[in-house]
Structure formats: structure tokens, C-alpha cells
Structure 1
Amino acid sequence: MLPFIVTVFLLFLSSPPPVTAVSSRCAAAAAKTFKKCASLPTQDASIAWTFHRHNATLDIAFFGSFISPSGWVGWGINPAAAEMAGTRALIAYPDPNSGQLLLLPYVLDSAVKLQKTPLLSRPLDIHLLSSSATVHGGRKATVHGGAAIEIRASVKLSHNKTKLMHFVWNRGLYVQGHSPTIHPTGASDLSSAVTVDVLSGNAPRVHNRRDFSTLKTAHGFVNAVSWGILLPVGSVTARYARHIRSLGPTWFYVHAGIQLSGIALGSIGFGIGLRLGELSPGRAPGMHLKLGVAVFSLGILQTTAVFFRPERTNRFRKYWKSYHHFVGYACTVLGVVNVLQGFDLIGEEGPSPPSYYGLLVYCLCLSTLGGVCVALEVNSWVVFWRSAKEDKLSSTSSS
């Protein structure tokens, strides 16, 4: 019952919040040119758009504002997910030489997000029909802090990918040459991404990045504890505790309890991962997803195998035991590998102190467990050789 309640609660957290009330600029633009408009969750930005079904063309206007006279404002489309990496953007800023407003195309790849390479303009690989940028206030309007800007674009979409659009926007303080510098990293600045249903006639609903991050954190924590810690502890318990005669059958119940808890918790984490996939359609985590499916499948097989365990006197008991050991160790090893793969994916998205400390704590737990395993393994071999030596001496003395 508890896992079900936790799952429902986490899914509730992921439910998309409604878009806020439309701004006056958005409403005015929609009344004149566009069919729909909505205010975006951050930076007092808004969008207005018209989707032409007959030719799958999206006409859109983004309304934002500058935060400095030498700053930049950008808006773009991410074909895969509502996040910065992978966004095809149009960024407007005053020309450093003439002061005239420029609008150039940029591709925000992972290297740019990690600040490994500067952001340089390059052609977009989406079918951009037209684009323009205008500073509000008349022909003589200049860029200043708080100046309102409108970025318009017309995009030709694929007919099979026309319902959900991932929009990303942001703004920065200054531009170096023609390379926009990093934007502020406040909570609102890091949440400037939404997924909008452009076909809906009602007010669209968006997937807030903050809720997405909450789910992603829950997914990582739950899976690190279940597949990455509980299952290895359960395997270690089965391998070393069963040889302690004073425990009797207690070791088996401890082992089964730990493993079942790990599988139950891991199932919740797996479900959260599937939900994350639904919230970011088109994004393919690749090996992380494949390993996750493999680990979950092995975990379910391992759990159901308990109900088919033969009696000790059954001749098939040794085959079942070999199968149980193989599947158990495979599930444990792949689970640890996939947890580390998950941390690696988080690292690719940019530096994050919580994820760094999370990885540090997990590696500390894993290394501690590894040290315990080494000590127990050495002890078991010492006991084995000592017992073998004593048996040999006793047999020699008796003869």
C-alpha cells in the first residue's frame, strides 16, 4: 500500500500546472494576428501562435524583455525535450558596433551548456521559413534594461510531430562579440522551458521544468537506494551470512526481506523513470533506458522464482540454485552500473552540486560495502582453509 501511495504522490507532483494569465502584449498580438496566446511561467514572457493544419506551419511570436542595454534575449524550439541542451534558438541583441538589433540562429548543444565552447551562430537544422525581431517603442526605440522585445518566427513542422512543442527561452546580461554569454542561474532562469500543446483550442498546459527536476531527483534517489544499495546488501547477506550456523534460517528471511524491499522500491523508481520519458518525448537516454529495463526484468524474474523453488530433496534444486545465483548477481551488477550511468547523464546536463554530492555519497556507500565484502571473503577463505587443515590433521591422527 505504501509504494502505491508514494507513486501516486510523485505522479501528482509531475502533473503539469496551468499557464498563468495572458499578458497584455500577448492578448493584443493574438487579437490582431494570432489565434492563441499564453503567458509563460518565468521572466514575464509570453507567446502567441497560430498553427496551420493544412500545411503543418506554425507562426509564433515570443514576447520577452532585456535585463541590460548590452544584453540578449533568446527563444527557441527543442525537438526532443523541454530543456536547454539541443535547443534551436533565435537570439536577439544589439550589434556591438552599430547598436542595431540583430537576430541570429544558434544551436545550444551540451558543450555550450557545460561552457566548454562559446556559443556561436550557425544555421538551424529545422525548417525555419522566416524570422524577425522588434524592440517595442517605435522606430527609434533602443535596447535598455526592461525594454520589451518581440521575436517572430514561422516554422514548417513534420506532420507526425505537430502536437507537442518544447519551447525554451532566456536572457543574459551581455554579449561578447557575437557570442551571448551565460544567463543568470536563478530558479526562474533555470525553469524557462515548457511543453505546449499547439493544437489545443483551450488554454495550453505546460510541463514545468521545476516539477520535472523534482521527479528526476526522486527517480535518481529511489533507484540509487534500491538497485544500487539494497540489492547489493541483500546479495552480500546471502553469500556470507548463510555460513554462520548460529543464525540458522534467519539469514534467509533477512536476505529475502532486503531483496523484496529493494525490488518494491526499485519498481517505484522504474515507474518514475517511465513518467520522465513521457514528460520528455523524443529524448532517448539510450543505454540508461536499456539497462533500466534489463535490471527491472531481472528483478521481477528473481522475485517470481522464489515461488517455484524446489524442495531440498528435489533433483532440480541445484539447477534452480544456479539460476537464482546467476540472475541475482546479474541484476545486482547491472543495477550498480545503471545507477552510475544515471549520475553520468546528470553530469552531462551541467554542473550540479546536489548531484555531485549524491554521487560522492553513493560511491562512499559502495566502496564501504566493497570493503566489507573483501574482508568477509578473506575471512571465509581463512575459515575454509583452517577447517580443511583441521580435517586433514584429524584424519591423519585417526589413521
Structure 2
Amino acid sequence: MFPFFLIFLSFFPFTIVFSSHSCTTSTSTKTFEKCMPLPSQDASISWTFHPHNATLDIVFFGSFISPSGWVGFGINPNSPEMTGTRALIAFPDPNSGQLVLLPYIIDPSVKLQKSPLLSKPLDIHLLASSSTLYGGKMATIHNGATIQIYATLKLVSNKTKNVHFVWNRGIYVQGYSPTIHPTNINDLSSIATIDVLSGSQAICHNNFLTLKNVHGVINSISWGVILPLGAVTARYLRHVESLGPTWFYVHAGVQLSGILLGTIGFAIGIRLGQLSPGRVYGLHRNLGIATFVLGMVQTLALLFRPKTTNKFRKYWKSYHHLVGYGCVILGVVNVFQGFEVMGEGRSYVKLAYCLCLSTLIGVSVALEVNSWVVFCRKAKEDKMRREGLIGSGKFSGSSHG
């Protein structure tokens, strides 16, 4: 994922009454009009916007995850992503151990980790800034230590509706250069777009969550259920002589519907990537692309399906089975990876999918056992027929005697 999710906003020295895991809106010298818990890392912000001069007083509440780590908060003036964020990052001074707060601009080179992140002046109207540990002068930086970052900045008067806030925290600092933050789901979701005038999150954020849920549901059903079901129908229905060629049309119908639905889910995933350029789930994305490509290749192969009498038919069947099973396996693996990406690794939704998949696997095992029983029975009958112990397909009465 993009390296450091960093932070910004400068702040003034107020004494704040703060309770971790809660959002407090008043100080001994200042009352903030609005307060909002942020969606990750138990962080929160409080602020007051002054429309007459377009200034924003803000305080960010976060916590350290390492005694030698960093905590940062910032604003991206252009888009809801890490790259381009104007950030203030707090960490212990490597020489004195005292808390320092330095400004950083997160340019694209940070994303590629080509060079250390260096402090530089911010190119925004930052009027004042400061930071303090909860507990006052006697507080020490430790794992779980709470920090408050204050800032006063001047916004563009007509750009207060969608202010992109970015925050994160890291494990250690090299000199005065914060290093990459952890890349689990909480750390990759540290972005919020807020209308500072009304105190509401942008509608596009809600639409993003809706798209993400739709993406998860569609792909779980298509790649995770329908395509495995289609593979099961092909393997076990084709041996039912009474069905004739019907099994093929059932198999093709199930697989084509799964591919169609999966294509929609894949397209939504591409759109989600465009809407969140600051978040990259590499493994999930790569598995999704590989699964989709295999699905498309498998579907197009139907156009080149040789006749049963063609000498290349056996090679086509081997290819069809290999690509088909590969697509099914990758699809199921990526569904589980998707649950982790969405933070649903221990949810009832994942449990329901596991039960559904387990049922399908159980049915497949039962059908596989039955197929081997039928195969062994036919092999025994063929052997006895060759030895003359049975007639034209049925045991003679004397063969039991």
C-alpha cells in the first residue's frame, strides 16, 4: 500500500480534557463546536470553523503504537488519498527524546519509497500548530500513549464542503524521517472527507461503502459459489446417461451466468480502485485480475471447442479442465482475501459463506464417492463379462449360485 499515511494540521497550545476512545469538544480555554470520531485507529477530531475569515481551529486525537513511533494528521487539498497530503507528524526527538512536531508534504516519491520522507514547509495557510501528550509535561511516549495535535489554518472560503483529512501512525522513525506505517485494513482506511461547515461526511464516502459492499456480495456469489457449482455440474451430471446432452447446457448456463455476474463485480472493483487511489490491496487485486482473465479465456475457449471426433479434442479437454479448476480455486481464495480486505475476517457473513462452500464441498465429496463406486462396479462387470461369467449386461442366475 502507499507508504506512510501522514498527517497535517498545525495546532495551538490548549489544555484539553480528553478521554481515549471518546471525542471531547471542550478545553479549559476553548470550546470546539463540532466533534467527530474517525473511522479507524480510535482517532477523532474536534473543530470550529469561522466563516467570516474562513479559518479552521482543529484538534486531532490519536495514539502511538510504539515508543519510537510517530503519529500524524493532515489535509489533502486535492483528493482523498495519501499522496499530496500536507501533514504534521509528531514523534520523539532522536536526540532529546522530547516530542517534536514537523511539517511534511507527501509527494509521489514517498509512495514508491525511493527516498526518505524529509520535513519541508507546508504550502498552505497554516497559522499556528502544536502537539502535546495526554497527561501534560509528565507524560511519556509509550505504546498506547495519547497525543493531541492542534492547528489553526486558513481555508479557501469556497472550499469548505469537502475537506480531505488523512491520518496514520507508524512504528519507528529513522532520524527525522517517519517510516512506512502498517498496512492492515485500519491503516489503509485512514481517510475521511468532511464538510467542516455542517459536520457531515461527504456523500461520496457513503457511496463508496455501498459500492464496496455490492462488489463483495456479487463476487462472493459469482466467483465463490456459482462457478464452483458449475464445475460440480459438469463433473457429475455428465455421467448420468438419462440426461443426455442436457448436462452440457446446464453447465454452460451456470458458468456463463457466473462469468456475467463476476464481470460486473470485477468492473465495480476497478471503479473502487479509481475512487480510492490511496488504497492498494495488492494481493486481492492481483488475484482478482488473474481470476477474471482465466474466466474470460475459459469462456472464449467455447468458440474453439473441437468436435468429439477431432484428434485435438483430448488436448482441448485437458486445457479446459486445467483452466476451469484454476479459475475456481483462485476465485474462492480471493473471496476469502476479500473478506480480510473488508475487515470481515471474523464476521457472520464470512461464516455464512463458509457454510455454503462447505455444503457444496460435502455434496461434491458424496458425488465423488458415488462416482467411484459406480466406476468400480462397472469395471468389475466388464471383467466378469470378458471372463464369460455374465451375459449381456446382467448377472446370470447361475453366477450367484
TM range (shorter): 0.5 to 0.7
Distance across 2 between alignment mates of 1:128 and 1:368:
58
Structure 1 position 129 matched with structure 2 position 121? yes
1:314 match: 310
In 1, Cα distance between equivalents of 2:218 and 2:79: 23
Across the aligned residues of Structure 1 and Structure 2, the Cα RMSD in angstroms comes to: 4.4
Name the structure 2 match of 1:151: 152
Is it true that 1:386 corresponds to 2:362 in the alignment?
no
Q: Residue 77 of structure 1 contacts residue 168 of structure 1 at CA under 8 Å; is this kept in 2?
A: yes
The aligned counterpart of 1:298 is 294
Closer, same or farther: CA 286–66 of 1 in aligned 2, 3 Å:
closer
SS in 1 for 2:152: strand
Query: Which has the higher Rg, Structure 1 or Structure 2?
Result: 2
Partner of 2:285: 289
Matched, 1:194 2:228: no
* Structure 1 residues 256-297: Cα deviation after superposition (integer angstroms, max 9, x where no partner): 011001100000110011011101114221111111111111
Paired residues of 2:76 and 2:166 also in contact (CA < 8 A)? yes
In the alignment, which residue of structure 2 is the partner of 1:367? Answer: 358
Using the aligned pairs only, state the percent identity.
55
CA contact (8 A) 1:82 1:195 kept: no
Structure 1 Cα separation of the partners of residues 347 and 214 of structure 2: 15
After superposition, residues 1-399 of structure 1 pair within 5 angstroms as 62-64=56-58, 75-77=73-75, 82=80, 125=117, 127=119, 129=121, 132-133=128-129, 150-152=151-153, 166-168=164-166, 193-194=192-193, 208-347=204-343, 356-398=347-389
SS of the residue corresponding to residue 315 of structure 1 reads coil
Aligned residue pairs total: 264
* Aligned partners of 1:219 and 1:269 also within 8 Å: yes
Residues 195, 309 of structure 1: CA spacing in aligned structure 2 closer, same or farther, 3 A cutoff? Answer: farther
Note the C-alpha offset of 1:387: 1.2
In the aligned structure 2, how far is the partner of 1:64 from the partner of 1:44?
6
| 3-state DSSP of counterpart to 1:129 | coil
CA apart distance, 1:299: 0.6
Quick one: distance in 1 between partners of 2:358 and 2:378? Answer: 30
Instruction: Report the CA distance between 1:393 and its aligned residue.
Output: 1.9
Q: Distance in 1 between matches of 2:338 and 2:330?
A: 12
CA contact (8 A) 1:80 1:282 kept: no
Distance 1:47 1:169 in 2: 20
Separation (CA, whole Å) in 2 of partners of 1:248 and 1:40: 68
Residue range with higher mean Cα deviation, 313-322 or 220-229: 313-322
Please list the CA deviations of residues 55-86 of structure 1 after superposition, one character each: whole Å capped at 9, or x if unmatched.
Answer: xxxxx96444799xxxxxx95247999489xx
Structure 1: give runs of 5+ residues left out of the alignment: 1-38, 49-59, 68-73, 93-101, 108-123, 135-148, 155-163, 171-189, 197-204
| Deviation at residue 153 of structure 1 after TM alignment | 9.2
Could you tell me how far apart the structure 2 residues matched to 1:270 and 1:80 are?
A: 27
